[in-house]
């Protein structure tokens, strides 16, 4: 497998033209042209959200997709069956806020029943988890990641522009009780907003067997100046946490997990650091994204996309869609171009799902 950055300047075209002249062996595993096995699809179920986190959406002025623009449940299941046929094994449901999706429990049940799909997870703000954790678990959801940027109710409300920390905690507890484990909690750390809480957040892993993941702010559309002024590197956070708790233990690393993992000595939980900006993990990338309106988005921090909805609505069957997905895997870019100053311009994080 090629692990170095093969080119620095090559920026693929933004919109990938579907190729109907290519055929791929249907039993070959989905590997991209750099040899990376691509088997993880992050699926945005909606671009809408019941929060407005400062690093994700502007306070006002978001334009949301009209419902007919979204893939219907039947269309989504068709695309995911095709993806499973190509070798995708893990699905993460995200958004916007995935729990706002109409008939979310039935949808999870249908996705989990697709032959070949081994694991279905969800990234959520947890505002609706108190009610939904049990039914989602019963429908086959394996686990959840919950976003929680602050343990101070006032600050949490400010950063999420209105979210209730109590409700989120109730959701996390409901997820734990329902068995949606191991629970992972995510905080995007923004300098001057919640970086003073890093020790308190990390200390949760000394109480609970959860993974707490610190995420660097990424420069997606709608983040305004935070991507310039707000980024605080994982290296700086690690140093601050180690200065408080003593040297951290390194933790066995799954190569396809973007989080670099550590443990506070003796803690039941672990810490993860996701450093897309300062220490990218493109060499071991195993994922692609599907937007709510059915576009395969090939790299989080680039604009390259392939429109599957157009094919579905033109009557393409599972086999044809599988060929399109294979083509998308084939042309997946090596990695993002932040070091060369290439910024994604097409979408906000709430349209892509993280
Ligand atoms: N609404 C759900 C939630 O907040 O967990 C799922 C969607 S959200 C877009 C997915 C993840 O992206 C969350 O962990 C969120 O913290 C993260 N995120 C949003 N904007 C980000 C940014 N600019 N940089 C880094 N992570 C971001
Ligand atoms: Fe909503 Fe999640 Fe974006 Fe926050 S990070 S605004 S909860 S989609």
pLDDT digits over 53-111, tens only?
A: 999 998 888 889 999 999 999 999 999 999 999 999 999 999 999 999 999 999 999 99
Q: How confident is the model at residue 30 (pLDDT cuts 50, 70, 90)?
A: confident
Instruction: Specify the pLDDT at position 7.
Output: 37
Whole-angstrom CA distances from 100 to 51, 55, 97, 129 are 11, 20, 6, 11
In angstroms, rounded to a whole number, what is the distance separating the alpha carbons of residues 212 and 97? Answer: 20
Q: Is residue 4 part of a domain?
A: no
Instruction: Specify the pLDDT at position 255.
Output: 82
Instruction: Specify the pLDDT at position 253.
Output: 78
Q: How confident is the model at residue 11 (pLDDT cuts 50, 70, 90)?
A: very low
Q: Is residue 129 part of a domain?
A: yes
Instruction: Specify the pLDDT at position 24.
Output: 58
pLDDT above 90 as % of the chain:
73
CA of 354 to the centre of ligand 2 (A): 9
In angstroms, rounded to a whole number, what is the distance separating the alpha carbons of residues 167 and 245? Answer: 29
Mean pLDDT of 142-149: 98
Alpha helices in the chain (DSSP H): 73-86, 104-112, 129-139, 153-160, 165-178, 198-207, 226-229, 234-245, 308-313, 318-330, 349-352
Ligand nearest to the CA of 289: 1
Q: Report whether residue 123 contacts ligand 1, using a CB cutoff of 6 Å.
A: yes
Name every protein residue with a CB atom under 6 angstroms from any ligand 2 atom: 49, 51-53, 56-57, 95-97, 125, 147, 349-350
Structure tokens at 140: 């086959």
Q: Is residue 12 part of a domain?
A: no
Whole-angstrom CA distances from 261 to 144, 145, 185, 295, 346 are 18, 16, 13, 32, 31
Inform me whether the pLDDT recorded for 10 exceeds 60. Answer: no
CATH number at residue 302: 3.20.20.70
Q: Is residue 7 part of a domain?
A: no
Q: Is residue 84 part of a domain?
A: yes
Mean pLDDT of 192-207: 97
Q: How confident is the model at residue 21 (pLDDT cuts 50, 70, 90)?
A: low
Q: Which of 54, 123, 147 to mutate to test the pocket of ligand 2 (most atoms within 8 A of CB)?
A: 147
In angstroms, rounded to a whole number, what is the distance separating the alpha carbons of residues 122 and 142? Answer: 8
Tell me which residue range forms the domain holding 305.
17-352
Q: Report whether residue 354 contacts ligand 1, using a CB cutoff of 6 Å.
A: yes
Instruction: Specify the pLDDT at position 2.
Output: 30
In angstroms, rounded to a whole number, what is the distance separating the alpha carbons of residues 91 and 89? Answer: 7
Q: For residue 227, give the ligand 1 atom closest to its CA.
A: 23
Ligand nearest to the CA of 187: 1
Q: How confident is the model at residue 17 (pLDDT cuts 50, 70, 90)?
A: low
Residues 307-323: tens digit of each pLDDT: 999 999 999 999 999 99
Q: For residue 161, give the ligand 2 atom closest to its CA.
A: 6
Higher pLDDT, 1 or 58: 58
Whole-angstrom CA distances from 81 to 88, 233, 317, 333 are 9, 39, 10, 24
Residues 245-293: tens digit of each pLDDT: 999 999 877 888 899 999 999 999 999 999 988 888 899 999 999 999 9
Q: Report whether residue 350 contacts ligand 1, using a CB cutoff of 6 Å.
A: yes
Q: For residue 149, give the ligand 1 atom closest to its CA.
A: 16
Ligand nearest to the CA of 213: 1
The order of strands in the sheet holding 90-94 is: 249-250, 260-263, 270-274, 211-216, 184-189, 143-147, 119-124, 90-94, 40-44, 287-290, 295-297, 305-307
Q: Is residue 240 part of a domain?
A: yes
Instruction: Specify the pLDDT at position 208.
Output: 96
pLDDT above 70 as % of the chain:
91
Q: Which of 53, 127, 194, 222 to mutate to test the pocket of ligand 2 (most atoms within 8 A of CB)?
A: 53
Least confident of 6-10, 60-64, 299-303: 6-10
Mean pLDDT of 205-234: 87
Instruction: Specify the pLDDT at position 12.
Output: 40
Query: In the predicted model, what is the mean pLDDT of the chain?
Result: 90
CA of 353 to the centre of ligand 1 (A): 6
CA of 148 to the centre of ligand 2 (A): 10
Q: How confident is the model at residue 216 (pLDDT cuts 50, 70, 90)?
A: very high
Q: Is residue 199 part of a domain?
A: yes
As for how many domains the chain has, the answer is 1
Instruction: Specify the pLDDT at position 8.
Output: 32
Please give the distance of CA 37 from its chain centroid, rounded to a whole number: 18
pTM for this model (two decimals)? 0.92
Q: Is residue 6 part of a domain?
A: no
3-state class of 144 per DSSP? strand
CA of 160 to the centre of ligand 2 (A): 8
Q: Report whether residue 205 contacts ligand 1, using a CB cutoff of 6 Å.
A: no
Residues 147-192: tens digit of each pLDDT: 999 999 999 999 999 999 999 999 999 999 999 999 999 999 999 9
């Amino acid at each position: 497998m090629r692990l170095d950055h093969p080119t620095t300047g090559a920026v693929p075209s933004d919109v990938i033209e579907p190729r109907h002249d290519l055929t791929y062996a249907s039993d070959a595993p989905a590997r991209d042209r750099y040899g990376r096995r691509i088997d993880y699809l992050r699926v945005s179920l909606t671009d809408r959200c019941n929060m407005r986190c400062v690093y994700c959406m502007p306070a006002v002025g978001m334009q949301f997709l009209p419902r007919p623009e979204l893939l219907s449940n039947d269309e989504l299941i068709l695309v995911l069956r095709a993806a499973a046929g190509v070798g995708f094994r893990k699905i993460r449901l995200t958004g916007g806020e995935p729990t706002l999706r109409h008939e979310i429990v039935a949808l999870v049940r249908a996705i989990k029943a697709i032959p070949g799909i081994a694991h279905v997870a969800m990234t959520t703000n947890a505002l609706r988890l108190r009610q939904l954790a049990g039914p989602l678990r019963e429908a086959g959801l394996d686990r959840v990641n919950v976003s929680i940027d602050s343990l101070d109710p006032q600050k949490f409300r400010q950063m999420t522009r209105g979210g209730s920390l109590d409700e989120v905690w109730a959701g996390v507890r409901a997820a734990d009780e329902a068995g949606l484990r191991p629970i992972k909690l995510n905080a995007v750390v923004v300098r001057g907003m919640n970086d003073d809480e890093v020790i308190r957040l990390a200390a949760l892993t000394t109480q609970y067997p959860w993974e707490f993941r610190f995420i660097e702010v990424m420069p997606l559309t709608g983040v305004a100046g935070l991507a310039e002024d707000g980024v605080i590197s994982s290296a700086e956070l690690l140093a601050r946490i180690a200065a408080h708790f003593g040297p951290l233990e390194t933790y066995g690393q799954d190569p396809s997990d973007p989080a670099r993992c550590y443990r506070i000595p003796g803690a039941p939980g672990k810490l993860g650091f996701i450093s897309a900006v300062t220490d990218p993990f493109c060499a071991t990338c195993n994922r692609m994204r599907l937007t709510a309106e059915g576009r395969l988005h090939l790299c989080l921090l680039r604009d390259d996309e392939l429109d599957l909805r157009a094919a579905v609505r033109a009557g393409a069957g599972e086999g044809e869609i599988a060929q399109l997905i294979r083509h998308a895997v084939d042309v997946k870019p090596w990695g993002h171009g932040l070091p060369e100053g290439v910024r994604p311009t097409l979408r906000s994080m709430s349209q892509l799902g993280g």
